[in-house]
Amino acid sequence: MAASDWIAGARRAPSPNSDSRPSGTDISLAVLHSISLPRGTYRKAGGGSAIERLFTNRLDPAEHPSFADLAGLRVSSHFLIYRDGELVQFVPLGARAWHAGASRWRGRERCNDFSVGIELEGVDDGEFAAAQYACLRALFMKLQSVLPLRDLAAHSDVAPGRKSDPGTHFDWAHFLQQLARAA
């Protein structure tokens, strides 16, 4: 595993929910997601996280009634950005994280093969924090420096009708303006 597979400044929480990408695949897409567990509940600063436990197969389904449907689920993402801007990396960039599921982008199936998954702590019908936008901007710029990223899409774009995240409250115009100013 190359050092460039791990982004400097991200806390590492390795997930077993990943595998090898198809040989010769360019990582050209970043997919934005949102998640909170239980729904609408956010981590207290410095506290534990049900999201991290889910992505590392340590979530106890008996911990909360809403977790029953998550029993046995094996999912991950490359990154998670908490509301306070903390960045966690679960899967090295060279590996395929299990984040997009059945998906399609610009005529290509199986987005996990050629994408990086980025989760924002939040819900698809809620606002995101300024610290998250700032962290996401810095992360995306770092990713562009080490990967041939050409596209950025919402989970709802790659899995329409099945997924709605990060939702209508993600401020795409604001985020894209931040990226343009930083470039």
pLDDT band at 2 (very low <50, low <70, confident <90, very high): low
E strands of 53-162, at which residues? 79-81, 87-89, 95-97, 104-105, 108-109, 115-121, 151-154
pTM above 0.75, yes or no: yes
Q: Is 119 a catalytic residue?
A: yes
Q: What is 9-182's CATH topology?
A: Lysozyme-like (3.40.80)
Residues 52, 63, 109, 119: which is the catalytic one? 119
Query: Per the structure block, which two tokens stand in for 91?
Result: 């899967």
* Cα separation, 145 vs 33, whole angstroms: 22
- Taking 80 as the threshold, does the pLDDT of residue 152 lie above it? yes
* Cα separation, 18 vs 112, whole angstroms: 10
Residue range 154-179, pLDDT digits in tens: 999 999 999 999 999 999 999 999 99
Q: What are phi and psi of 142, to 5 degrees?
A: -65, -45
Q: How large is the average pLDDT for residues 11-24?
A: 97
Q: Cα–Cα–Cα angle for 166, 169, 170, nearest 5°?
A: 55
Q: How large is the average pLDDT for residues 131-140?
A: 97
Residues forming a β-bridge with 31: 117, 153
Residue range 34-69, pLDDT digits in tens: 999 999 999 987 667 999 999 999 999 999 999 999
* Cα separation, 181 vs 4, whole angstroms: 25
Provide the pLDDT for residue 46.
66
* Cα separation, 110 vs 99, whole angstroms: 10
